[in-house]
């Protein structure tokens, strides 16, 4: 178990490091023109009565207005009970994305469903976060979320509540 956590942390740190290096090389452009966003995150989830698990995910977002962004995401959980989640969600940026600020607070919510793992469950997430712009094309994101997982097995549903801490990088283009 410790070996899997170490591998997860090492790969997450390496991915974030490469993305941070790429962000410093990104060419400046008009923030208002950047409607698409590609994000890579590492997160740690802890549910009541279980060990903390880690996952990595990618999301593709589209900025519908200055404050509302929709996204689709793909998440791979690592460690015991590996599975893949596919989901959709949204973010509301307080004050708007195109304003020149040192940080952009937001509220977010998403629905995620297992895919191709033999497990049948869904995850509802909701919380708050902040984007810390590195330049006009890239930002670092930090999120905290309440998570509710519903596992379906043999005609019954088991629910568990938890929390997540998410750190990642976002590129707008």
Predicted TM-score of the model (pTM): 0.75
Helix (H) or strand (E) holding 150: strand 138-153
For 80-131, how does the pLDDT look when each residue is reduced to its tens digit (9 = 90+)?
A: 567 788 999 999 999 888 776 788 999 999 999 887 666 778 889 999 999 9
Reported confidence tier of residue 52, pLDDT bands at 50, 70, 90: confident
> What CATH number is attached to the domain comprising 144?
2.40.160.20
Domain hosting 23: range is 2-172
Q: For the residues of 17-33, what is the DSSP string, one character each?
A: HHHHHHHHHPPP--GGG
Distances, alpha carbon 113 to alpha carbons 88, 143, 149, 150, in Å? 9, 20, 10, 10
How many angstroms from the chain centroid is the CA of residue 162? Answer: 15
Q: How many domains does the chain have?
A: 1
For residue range 122-157, list pLDDT tens digits in order: 889 999 999 999 988 899 999 999 999 888 877 788
């Amino acid at each position: 178990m410790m070996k899997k956590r170490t591998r997860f942390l090492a790969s997450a740190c390496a991915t974030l490091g490469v993305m941070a290096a790429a962000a410093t090389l990104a060419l400046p452009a008009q923030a208002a023109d950047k409607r698409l966003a590609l994000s890579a995150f590492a997160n740690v989830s802890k549910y009541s009565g279980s060990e903390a698990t880690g996952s990595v995910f990618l999301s593709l977002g589209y900025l519908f207005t200055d404050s509302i962004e929709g996204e689709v995401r793909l998440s791979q959980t690592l460690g015991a009970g590996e599975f893949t989640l596919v989901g959709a969600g949204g973010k509301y940026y307080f004050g708007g994305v195109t304003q020149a600020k040192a940080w952009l607070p937001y509220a977010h919510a998403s629905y995620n469903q297992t895919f191709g793992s033999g497990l049948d469950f869904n995850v509802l997430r909701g919380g708050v976060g902040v984007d810390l712009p590195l330049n006009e094309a890239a930002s670092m994101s930090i999120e905290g979320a309440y998570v509710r997982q519903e596992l379906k097995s043999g005609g019954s549903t088991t629910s568990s509540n938890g929390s997540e801490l998410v750190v990642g990088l976002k590129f707008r283009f």
